Amino acid sequence: MQKSSAYGIVFAIFFLFFIQMAGTLVESIYILDLMNTSLDEKALGLLFFFSPFILLPFRIKKTYLWAWVSFGLLFLGRGLTPYLDTLGRMLASGVATGAALVLFPFLITAKPKGEDRAPTGQWISAGLALAVVLSVFLRTLGYGLDYSLTPSGGWAGWGLGLFCGYLLTRLDLPVKPVARKTKGGFRLPGLGIFLILGLVWFVFSAPSVVARWTEGNYVLSAGTVSLLSAGWIWLVLANPGLLERITKRGLLVWNLLFSLCLIVTILAHRVSFPGTPESPSVIVGPPSWMQQIPLVLMLLLFPVLFLDARIFLRKIQITDISPRALVPGVLLGSFSLVLLVFMQIFSNVWGYVEPVSPWFRNKFWLPYALMAGGITVLVTRKGNVEAEKRSKPDGSLQWGQAALLGVLVLGTLVAVVLSTRVRSFETNKSSLVVMTYNIQQANDESGERSYARQLALIRQVSPDILALQETDSTRVSLNNNDYVRYYAGKLGYYSYYGPKTVTGTFGTALLSKYPLRNPHVIFSYSDRDEIGTTVAEVEVGGRRFTIYDVHPDGSDTAKLVFAYTLLEQSKDQPYAIALGDYNLRDYEEAYQLIDSVYTNAWTSVYPSEISPDGVDMSGENRIDHIFFSPVLSVRNPVYVLPPESATDHPVHWAEIFW
């Protein structure tokens, strides 16, 4: 292996680990605070992002010792994370994130053994591209989850960490600080690098992200990101001279086009929600082909991030400086990431963290515009595009490197196909088992991951129709995990994600053994969380059933508007089944309005609301309901209560027959 190749691979594993650990840290804090829907002391875990502060008060001697200690903490934190509970993951990923940020300045100033200078920024940009290829592969391999962050795939993290440690021994880490003064500092290039890392983390490291923004094609997003990232590596290794032909104007145009397409991709799927209780509901169907044009262009243009990273890194490396001199830029970048994370989260939980969060309602686009716009401004500043005169790739691509890239890209495409296959089920039936399941972002009532237990329960029941709530997890606050894809892929079901992530809802997803026809979402007035009701049709036994997956919340007024909207939208449907987390008790006006038109599965069989086996659903906790048209009948309604439900809600199912 070439010395410079080892340098690039070290950065690939480093970037991958940073994205994984930063994402897990934010996810763990969010899950722990999800239990009380407010910020508390657990949010202080974000202070791990400011760990490089420890380098400022000390006059650093023997800097390589700091580097190796930091790597050791990163290695241990990353390796242990998949096997821990939520609090343990928060601490382990926090330590690993902090260690990575401390290690970063030392890696930037390292160089291969026997060489006077570090390799050019092209090698590090190739490392960032390889990190994206690896992340996309692991996400597709894990059915929408990062396989290496699951207990069964945790070995991959240990293996990559050991390999990274071995490659570090082939680098000369800085032995002592360099006292050379530098004009202007490195804060802005450092900020630029972290804005790029932010976009990679928020968007391109997980192929489900843009697919859930847009209802776009998952194969397209995964395949394009993987292939173009691998293509950048090929360009760096096999034909680096092409990069020098890009002018400053060309760089500006490329960045502007990418930024524009990124923002338009989000805004094209933005919804103008009903503003008052009297406002008509808004129905959002499948996107048109015109709405998908900016998505395709954005995916094709995104490799400009690797070019930008090369320029920022070259700006830093053009002068020999000490790791300590890079700390202010790292801290500025870390601070920007924390702010951007809060912006993205507030756009989703705008009704809970007053007085700040309401301003972010329906501004999902804002952090992405700030990242892309900030990169464009910083990278086109005067003096950032001078030609490289230092060591660069030799223009040859070794067969081993080409084979590795080919395996990863091909493996990604194969994993996409395998994880999206659907099974065939019997359609000539006279009944449907329907199930409503508020999965609480795949966590149980204690805030522990429970996707494996939830999947086992679903398999045991084998519902024909599965309505999931609180599924909107394919966003940075929940580490971009796509549990809808995970369940659908493992079960072999058809699926409809429901409201796009750009709308900021709880998430109401439908899974089905049968094709879901005419899927769409109905948005009604809301005053705390966006209320999106997912609708689709299935054909079984010669009948067409209209399925409504519901999850209203907010004031009594908002819930009453939801009830009127549901009845208005379903009044012409002869076979309607409306199930979900209604957040309604049977004494509330909105519940009684729906109950006056449709039949409740539980109370129609058990008028006392207590089953013969003693399951008492007469209290406050019966807010998950199954309603259906009176022309249909029901048998065997079941509630399974926590903790057996593996969530904080009872899971409810019944057999609807005709």
Instruction: Identify the pLDDT of residue 45.
Output: 82
pLDDT in tens, 462-484: 999 999 999 999 999 999 999 99
- Which candidate, 317, 246, 244, places its Cα nearest to that of 4? 317
The full 3-state SS of 298-344, as one line of letters, equals HHHHCCHHHHHHHHHHHHHHCCCCCHHHHHHHHHHHHHHHHHHHHHH
Least confident residue range of 133-137, 240-244, 539-543, 638-642:
240-244
Average pLDDT over residues 520-532: 95
User: Is pLDDT of 322 > 80?
Assistant: no
Give yes or no for a contact between 469 and 549, defined as CB atoms under 8 angstroms apart: yes
pLDDT tens for 34-88 read 655 555 666 778 899 999 888 776 565 666 788 899 999 999 999 999 999 999 9
pLDDT-based confidence at residue 508 (cuts at 50, 70, 90):
very high
CB 426 within 8 A of CB 513: no
Higher-confidence residue: 107 or 318? 107
CATH class of the domain defined by 425-657: alpha beta
| CATH class in words for 3-417 | mainly alpha
Summarised one tens digit per residue, pLDDT across range 142-184 is 999 999 999 999 999 999 999 999 999 988 776 555 444 444 4
The domain segmentation of the chain, as residue ranges, is 3-417, 425-657
Q: Give pLDDT, residue 383.
A: 44
Question: What band does 130 get if pLDDT is binned at 50, 70 and 90?
Answer: very high
Looking at residue 35, what is its pLDDT?
57
Average pLDDT value for residue range 533-554: 96
CB of 436 closer than 8 Å to CB of 602: no
Pairwise pLDDT comparison (2 vs 535), residue with the higher score: 535
Q: Stretch 17-33: mean pLDDT, rounded?
A: 95
**In the prediction, which pLDDT does 179 show?**
44
What rounded mean pLDDT belongs to the chain? 90
* pLDDT of 4: 67
DSSP reduced 3-state for 479: coil
| pTM for the structure as a whole | 0.94
Round to whole Å and give the CA distance between 80 and 27: 16
pLDDT value at position 66? 82
